Structure 1
């Protein structure tokens, strides 16, 4: 019977026996290594098991064999969205739509990706197109869901606000130096005396209920309490009462970022950078917002600007390493993680030092393998070919060992490299 293993795998996948389905699809590929649909279906099974990286690898193999396999582009876009690699996900979904413009699910996913990337107008256009196609297909439920998404994205009418007008000769206080009263209150809160700090601020509000600086100070303390909505309300009051300092925008941006309002956070960081254009921490904060929304290229640019201002900022190196990992620039990521670990070590920041090492180990060859009689250059070449994911390389090496037992370790690595390069040609 033709494709017996493949058909059995499809049945197991329908029954949600994804592990069994993967075994059958793998058996089919052993017999038919150029069967693109088998790679696609195995990728779907890996995805349903939560092994997203392996799913991406199989989708890529399927597309190497059949560049017009629309579902592979769609599925890889979905997986890359989960991995927060938005630029690559958007590229995949655009390819799927070019192959079939009437693919409703692809327009729907494109809308979600553009919304995550901050392109609200583009997201609305995509959701509208998806809704139209779902209507034609008589899929009322998905059409309704698309319309709800559009409604959520459309701007809400803003109620009129009464703005109090203060004299241009207002004497509202401005932070002039680091050792002032409010900074002392923030330091007190950091030491755990939050109640005492807030009581002191209540006294300030009794004296002057329009003290913008006091609102800012209380907002910073509420951020430390993780009361982000209350903190944002305080920062809004600070701005209302003419305390237009970078610290307000910076901290409101951080609070918005914690609540998932990436676009709002970026707007605040932009305003803070207008006031403090040489503040490396602001570039890192905005880079984190870009990375959170999947704009890893924008994040890399901001972390690089931060490092131009402060070449020894370990956090900038570490976060840039994370961004490089998501856009599959593995060598740059390795370099940044190593630099971050070195600086954290010198500063004896052991928690972040270990975090940098853990991130480094995830994308490099396991240390126990480096002691074997293998060429580091050879291993690095294979690592680049599999997008930096060594677990994929290990699976391919194990497959080669199964088919060609008794050969040296170097031989298996060279065999896998040769197979990958041949398939890509």
Structure 2
């Protein structure tokens, strides 16, 4: 009889425990649903009810801790993480999230200790390597970061983030071929990822393959990459290649969205318009550049050149004078003013300006015009010497002029 009573009692206890556990699971599952919906505050009491029914439910401690962390209650998060590990000291997920807590709190040593523990417990899971690689990379420990990216790619072949980050490290180490291969692999397998084009464009730019670099920057922009640097890089290369419309579009973007008060950018856009022969539009840009920086000598020179192109020589002369007042050693201003006097056949005024132009900024243009002036003055020897200098500096038309003057 006593034995029978004991068996019945044990059965009742088992049923109670089972029902309590079942109830704990129900609360836990409900908490997970709210967590996955992003309702972290609503999930907390559900995980708490689970824990009240089953105090050894280490997953509930972890997930309640994650909710606390995501709602800014970080001390309570740490307490729950610690409780989870007191119950199950080899639960890798808790070490992972506690590592994130420590890193955010500035305790780098404990963060690395926990993430290393995750890797010790689960050496074939990529997530911990991804996190640790990012931390190494951030700290400038590129060799360890590189080792982790290599491991990630062993576990997740062709992972685009790992390839991009490894490529960036290779790029920093000047391992250009390896970097190029990583970025190219991303472009081939994940063509929607714009960053790969952006970084590969940098590699191509570094080896002066400007047209294909522009193609990569363009692809990055078309895919939605809109960081300031990509527009700066593309307009700079476009200007080198005289692709003025592309340069103007990028300068429009930079001025509108990043640096509206940049005298340099307004000046650059003016240069592009001038190169297209749109000198009135160029002058508008040079005016704005000068209004933003009254000491922008280049903008004054460019404005003066556009004024000359529009036949406004007298106004251009005032700009050259202004520059010389700002900087008496600006050779380009002397050059512009000398050519102004040359066109007026005021050689007495042009001569000293050519001398200073060549002293401070010896250009093929200055030598060419001084050579022409000397030829007009009957100084054949001096003319030929100047024209030879202009030829050496590859000034357009200098070779033909020399062949004609210096037979």
**Shorter-chain TM-score: which interval?**
0.3 to 0.5
Higher RCO (CA 8 Å, separation ≥ 6 residues): 1
Tell me the TM-score normalized by structure 2: 0.42
